Amino acid sequence: MHDDYALLTGVLDEQALGPFEAGKTLAHELASVCKRGDDHLGEARERVRGLSDEEILAATRYLTVRFHLLNKAEQINIARVNRERERAATPDRPKPESIADAVRELSSRGVAFDQAMRLLGGLDIQPTLTAHPTEARRRTVLYKQHEVAEAVECARDPRATPIEVAQADSRLHQIIELMLLTDEVRAKRLEVLDEVRNGLFFLSTSIWDAVPALARDTIEALRASYPDGSGAVSMAELSPLVRYRTWIGGDRDGNPKVTHRVTREALSMLRAAAVARYGEDLLRLRHELSVSDRRTVIEPEILAENERWAERFAPEDQELVHTTREPMRVRVMQMRERLARDEAYTSSEMLRELLQLRDALDAAGARESAHAGLLGELIHRVRTFGFHLATMDIRQHSKVHEHAVGELLQRAGVHEGYADLDEAGRCDVLRAELAQPRPLVSAWAELSEQKREVLDVLTVVRGVRTREPNAVRTYIVSMTHDVSDMLEVLLLFKEAGLFRRREGGGYESDLDVVPLLETVDDLDRGAEVLEELFSDPMYREVLESRARAEGVDADAFQELMLGYSDSNKDGGYLMANVALHEAQRSLAGLCERHGVAFRLFHGRGGTVGRGGGRANRAILSAPPSSLNGRIRFTEQGEVISFRYALPAIARRHLEQIIGAVIEGASGGAAGEEQDDRFALVRGFAERSMRAYRGLIDGDEFWSWFTFVSPVTHVGGLPIASRPVMRAGSRLEFENLRAIPWGFAWIQMRYLVPGWYGMGGVLAEAEDATLERCAELYRSWAFFGTAIDNAQREMARARLPIARFYAHEHPDGGVFHERIALDFDLARRAILRITGQSELLENEPVIARAIASRNPWTDVLNLMQVELMSRARAGRADELRPAIFAVINGLAAAMQSTG
């Protein structure tokens, strides 16, 4: 990594583009002061105070590009290390945390081949791309970083000729020149469809390529670990290991720009992107399937299909001249024509036709080409992506449904004051109306525009599902507090024709209704709410219909979503972790008692404060009862661009997740839960929540936070279509979303959401209790992961820098000292629990990376402090571009936003 970084920064420092030369010199001078130690930070601060706005901006731009290059060098190094580990792997010692490693473990534990195949066939892993505003980089910058990686790989390729190396070096100079001359911050805020395009970029490139690569990895793993039984396994038969979901264009919670028209267009864009990629694959397949009817007998099904579509989807005459004796090639050409021209063509039809080609090739004796080549790869992709590419979720806040239902009931003359009813009264009204076959309001003609929009999006969903049922399958209810929050959505479904009573009796829903449990209280009460729902005969029939639709081997099915961001914002780091863990355990137990198959959906963010960290470790630290092979998790903002920017990293990310899910579903995770452990940690968590709430609910805290942090500027940063506030325009804690809350703490280098509240609680513990914690750290994956994630965030924090922000406020020292005290106490306790002498002693590579970044990041922080000070003096509008630039630079430096 150091060689790549030296190469890239060397090219950067060779640039002499006007004001960037001065910016480069300033950045190096200031970083050298910061490198002398924390005692010299005041000197650096004074030097920054004397700089002009233009000098600060020039240095910021230089440092931002420098961090972009460092981040790309780290990605390239990760991919290179992974390749080296793959080369060193053997069938007996596969690469750690891989599919091969997980399958080898199955075999070594005596799991038979048939059992292993059933387990793999039952995997249900669904990464979910979201448009949450945590990616500060423009798409053009992401493209340039991708080009940097390609040029570095070429320059480092031992097979490259001297001319090729020189060309790669020239290309690096070109890209870095252009990066210095490119605006880091967008001129205007992203629109929703821009976000859709960003998601499509990754879905149609690295993700598209990773899916068949993972299938090949799985087949090779089976052959290595089960040499006697896996010969017949092929890509054409293997069930999809991952299927992608997306919220982009469907998540309307707090985003008025996501209208039913936008959702319709987003769904069309997903289909168009899938069709375009399939068109490319079919073109390749056409060149490959040159099977002549003079050399083999062609299956009659192929000939019949060719005859059936000969007139409607005939290729150009010139193309047919050369394929008269190649019926399979003609078949592929017809499919490609139909794909481009027939709106009614479905993925299920295309899959049927591809399987016919597979069988025909098989019958002709070309088994390897039928199952493992381009055809097998295309069959696997169609099973994975369909024509929808990624299944879209619809998400809306429970309050919106309440208001819409209230108006429907009032317009229909059913009830004048639904909102005034208690929970029992609401449920009675809803159940009675769900049992009625008639709609409440004819054609919704008299509804207000806002309420009509709720139903219009459901009409869009119903329309697209007639062609591609997997295009939309789930409706998520944000802030689910009560049973009525779920029943209200079913009533809206009924109005839109998505919920009905079957002719043979019983109720069915075309979509899963998914509760999103977000606050600590909702997580604690989640099992109680679901208990009532599962005991409701009508809702039980809905769950039975969803089990049939999902194809699960169970009588009923329910998806359950857990919110990591708001639970952290609500209760602090440790309480959120404990509440989430206990919710998973209680919900899994509830589902087992009621015979309901379930899939947990983890609403994880990129930062530790929002559930971030290594996904495979998070999976294996979950309660064993929740590890059933079905899982969803969100991929957000900068997490998407990091994990999917390079195909090799995308593949590594996914193989780690698949391996962890295999291990968990097969019983390879930790054993039974122990209640005494929960009693201890729950006690810590409750006291840590009191400490956390004591900080953020304290007098003057909010005025201090909004004064010293960049939160007000973050709200104006044009990085996403969604506002930073859930409702209203006032900047209040209750309205502020979890992402900008975390973003602001990261920018100041406090990182409070990732650790605060643990210090005082652990410091109060007796020696015997801390010894018990040390034992739990070693033996309990959940507690070990929670401690390690906290120490990672604490290692990234820089309280000597944060102090400069705090002391901008006249009384800022009070809050800084309070935070610093908890930090110091938490640090001492974590070192004792882990047995380390320094934070991150167990992850020295990360520790060294943080230390090497700090002086350069410190410079950006000091410049941000100065710019905000000048803005408070009445120059906010004038300095907005510079403040946005330094926010962007710090996001690159910290590799995270919120």
Query: What does the block give as tokens for 710?
Result: 């960049």
Cα–Cα distance for residue pair 339/315, rounded to 1 Å = 12
Residue % of the chain over a pLDDT of 90: 61
Mean pLDDT score, 75-87: 86
Instruction: Specify the length of the chain in residues.
Output: 898
Kindly give the residue spans of alpha helices, DSSP state H, lying in 797-875.
Answer: 799-806, 812-834, 844-870
| pLDDT > 70? residue 177 | yes
- pLDDT digits over 342-396, tens only? 889 999 999 999 999 999 999 998 888 888 889 999 999 999 999 999 999 999 9
Asked if 27 and 59 touch (Cβ cutoff 8 Å), the reply is yes
Helix or strand (DSSP H, E) at 708: helix 701-708
Q: What does the pLDDT average to over 790-807?
A: 96
The H or E element spanning position 129 is: strand 124-130
pLDDT in tens, 502-546: 887 889 999 999 999 988 899 999 999 999 999 999 999 999 999
Q: Does residue 132 carry a catalytic annotation?
A: yes
Spatial distance between the Cα atoms of 689 and 294, rounded to a whole number of angstroms: 77
Contact between residue 556 and residue 546 where contact means Cβ atoms under 8 Å apart: yes
What is the pLDDT, as a whole number, of residue 264?
97
Residue with tokens 């079913």, as numbered in its chain? 490
Write down the pLDDT at residue 610: 54
Nearest to 241 by CA among 381, 130, 358, 372: 381
- Confidence bin at 458 (pLDDT 50/70/90): very high
Letter for the amino acid at 52?
S
**DSSP three-state, residue 473:** strand
672 DSSP assignment: -
Among 241, 235, 277, CA closest to 369: 235
Q: How many CA atoms lie within 13 A of 448 on its CB side?
A: 10
pLDDT of residue 724: 56
- The chain-wide mean pLDDT, for the chain, equals 89
420-443 residues labelled b (16+ CB within 10 A) or e (exposed): ebeeeebbebbbebbeeeeebbee
| Per-residue b or e along 748-775, where b marks 16 or more CB atoms closer than 10 Å to that residue's CB | bbbbbbbbbbbbbbbeebeeeeeebbee
Which of 49-63, 438-452, 566-580, 757-771 has the lowest average pLDDT?
438-452
Please state the rounded mean pLDDT for residues 112-125: 93
Catalytic residue among 24, 146, 415, 569: 569
pLDDT of residue 320: 63
Secondary structure (3-state) at 624:
helix
Question: Pick the catalytic residue: 24, 72, 132, 653?
Answer: 132
State yes or no: pLDDT of 890 exceeds 70: yes
Q: What is the pLDDT of residue 493?
A: 96
Count the helices and strands in the chain (H runs, E runs).
39, 10
Between CA 550 and CA 512 the distance in angstroms is 9
In this predicted structure, the answer to whether residue 615 has a pLDDT above a threshold of 90 is: no
| Per-residue pLDDT at 576 exceeds 80 | yes
> Is pLDDT larger for residue 568 or for residue 613?
568
pLDDT of residue 322: 63
Least Cα distance to 483 among 399, 404, 424, 443 occurs for 424
- Residue 31 pLDDT exceeds 90: yes
Report, as an integer, the average pLDDT of 26-32. Answer: 95
pLDDT value at residue 739: 82
pLDDT given at position 674: 65
For the stretch 145-159, pLDDT in tens is 778 888 888 888 888
Question: Residue 401 is which amino acid?
Answer: H
Alpha-carbon gap, residue 34 to 798, rounded angstroms: 12
For 93-105, give one letter per residue: b (16+ CB within 10 A) or e.
Answer: ebbebbbbbbbbb
Which tens digits make up the pLDDT trace of 219-267? 999 999 998 876 778 888 899 999 999 999 999 988 889 999 999 999 9
Span 424-428, average pLDDT: 96
How confident is the model over 182-205, as pLDDT tens digits? 777 665 667 888 889 888 989 999
Characterize the bridge pairing of strands 472-478 and 391-397. Answer: parallel
What's the confidence (pLDDT) of residue 696?
Answer: 94
Q: Is 80 exceeded by the pLDDT of residue 323?
A: no
What is the mean predicted confidence (pLDDT) over 800-814? 90
Look at residue 394 and give its three-state secondary structure.
strand
Is 569 a catalytic site residue? Answer: yes
